[in-house]
């Protein structure tokens, strides 16, 4: 079964394709469909943004679509950056600019109070409706970036499962307990049950 992943983010695309590798689903990138419009993430929740992206991709390509939205929720910052994680320092900013603002806002916060969680909401959309799966991982924000793997806030996030940040883990190590790994592995289980049986 052919599906389109509603993203042009190559980092995210690699993670999702690795999870679906060996499955009965053939995944295409939104980059293969130049007619597909960019979607403005105007939703107030991760689910709303994921649905906006998946519905737009399905309409533009004629294929069932997978999409996700991910947020980093930092307790000491009342849940910021949250649903605006990719735009925390402004529109069209780099990963580094977002990380710098996060560290600046946590400057005087002690380690014990730097708790955070990554949450991913993944959705599948076809002509019948949508399916949702979620993944979450709890950890803390380090005082400085560590590691060059991953993307986004990965070099600052240390989960409860490891002494390393996500930026220090290999992709397979990260996938074993990451928010996106959990969400898309659950999605794959649901889709296998629904379509493959």
* CATH number where 116 lies: 3.90.950.10
In angstroms, the CA 111 to CA 47 distance is 30
* Nearest CA-CA partner of 50 in 23, 80, 12, 77: 12
| Residues paired with 133 in a beta bridge | 122
CB hemisphere CA count around 131 (13 angstroms): 20
Residues whose CB is less than 8 angstroms from the CB of residue 174 and which lie 6 or more positions away in sequence, other chains included:
149, 150, 154, 166, 181
Rounded to 5°, angle at Cα 85 from 188 and 64: 30
pLDDT value for 100: 98
pLDDT of residue 41: 92
pLDDT at 116: 98
What per-residue confidence (pLDDT) applies to 47?
Answer: 98
pTM for the whole structure: 0.94
Return the active site residues: 69
Print the domain residue range for 21.
Answer: 2-196
State the total domains in the chain.
1
And the tokens for 51?
Answer: 């649905």
Are the beta carbons of 39 and 86 closer than 8 angstroms? no
pLDDT score at 11: 86
pLDDT, position 52 = 98
Beta strand 26-29 with 81-82 is unpaired
Check residue 197 and give its pLDDT. 60
Q: What is the 8-class DSSP label of residue 38? A: P
- As a whole number of angstroms, the distance between CA 65 and CA 53 comes to 9
- Tens-binned pLDDT, residue by residue, of the chain (197 aa): 999 999 998 888 999 999 999 999 999 999 999 999 999 999 999 999 999 999 999 999 999 999 999 999 999 999 999 999 999 999 999 999 999 999 999 999 999 999 999 999 999 999 999 999 999 999 999 999 999 998 999 999 999 999 999 999 998 899 889 999 999 999 999 999 988 76
């Amino acid at each position: 079964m052919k599906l389109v992943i509603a993203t042009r983010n190559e980092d995210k695309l690699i993670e999702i394709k690795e999870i679906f590798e060996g499955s009965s689903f053939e995944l295409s990138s939104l980059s293969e469909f130049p007619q597909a419009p960019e979607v403005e993430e105007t939703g107030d929740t991760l689910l709303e943004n994921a649905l906006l992206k998946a519905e737009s991709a399905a309409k533009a390509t004629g294929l069932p679509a997978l999409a996700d939205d991910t947020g980093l929720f930092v307790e000491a910052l009342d849940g910021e950056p949250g649903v605006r994680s990719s735009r925390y320092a402004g529109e069209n900013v780099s990963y580094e600019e977002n990380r710098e603002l996060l560290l600046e806002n946590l400057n005087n916060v002690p380690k014990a109070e730097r708790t955070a969680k990554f949450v991913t909401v993944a959705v599948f959309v076809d002509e019948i409706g949508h399916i949702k799966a979620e993944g979450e991982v709890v950890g803390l924000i380090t005082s400085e970036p560590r590691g060059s793997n991953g993307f986004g806030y990965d070099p600052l996030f240390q989960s409860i499962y490891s002494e390393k940040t996500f930026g220090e883990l290999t992709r397979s190590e990260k996938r074993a307990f990451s928010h996106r790994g959990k969400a898309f592995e659950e999605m794959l289980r649901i889709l296998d049950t629904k379509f493959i049986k």
